[in-house]
Amino acid sequence: MATTTGSQQTQAVPETIETLGPSSFQGWLLLLLVFLAGAASLSVEMAASRLLSPYFGDSLFVWASIIGLILLYLTVGYYVGGLLSDRYPRPVYLYYITAAASLLILLIPLISGPILSWTQLTFASYDVGVLYGSLLAVILLFALPTILLGCVSPYSIRIRIQQVGRAGRVSGLLYAISTAGSILGTFLPVLVLLPYLGVRLTFVSTGLVLLLISVVGILITNKHTAQPPKQA
């Protein structure tokens, strides 16, 4: 009995590593997704300031609205992502989340004009209309995509911990990768995307890159799931 149990345990470990191991293509794809999601969140934040400036200016009120609410949305996303990852601990659901976030980012240039004009006119007569108007605009335009992007870190940690069982090391690695992406998402829009492409194309390019990696992830994980298990 002891020999049989030990044999079963020995067979279970290689199967887990082969299927979901961090050195596999799926593992590297997940790391890339974490990096790009971190970059996308800061790229959206940087572009948001330029998007709002023609309507509300570039004052501290506007920056406070953007930074404060983006942090709030990420906080909500961390919590929601943790809940969803425990209930649906499969990589494909994470790619669905980032695909939805990318589509919402692509939608921003299309709906921003009417929303910003409406919020500007609505609060034009208020003494602190800039603050109220920018707050409402940031809520309407950026709440959903940023919350979805906030889901990525806890979701990816849950998936990788399921794979390798090293919570501290995995968490540190993924947060470091996400922060590195955020650094890129801070400087790339300011130095390249916004000066040369403009605000709207910055949102479009950010959404398209995130959508591409999400679609690849969905296809790869679905193909991997559809494959029959290998015979022992």
User: Is the domain defined by 25-223 classed in CATH 3.60.20.10?
Assistant: no
**Secondary structure (H, E, C), 101-117:** HHHHHHHHHHHHHHHHH
| Helices 167-188 and 152-164, packing angle to 10 deg | 150
End-to-end CA distance of the chain: 19
Mean pLDDT by 10 residues, the chain (232 residues): 42 36 77 96 95 90 92 96 93 96 97 94 80 91 97 93 70 93 95 95 97 96 67 48
Distance, CA of 216 to CA of 218 (rounded, Å): 5
pTM, two decimal places: 0.85
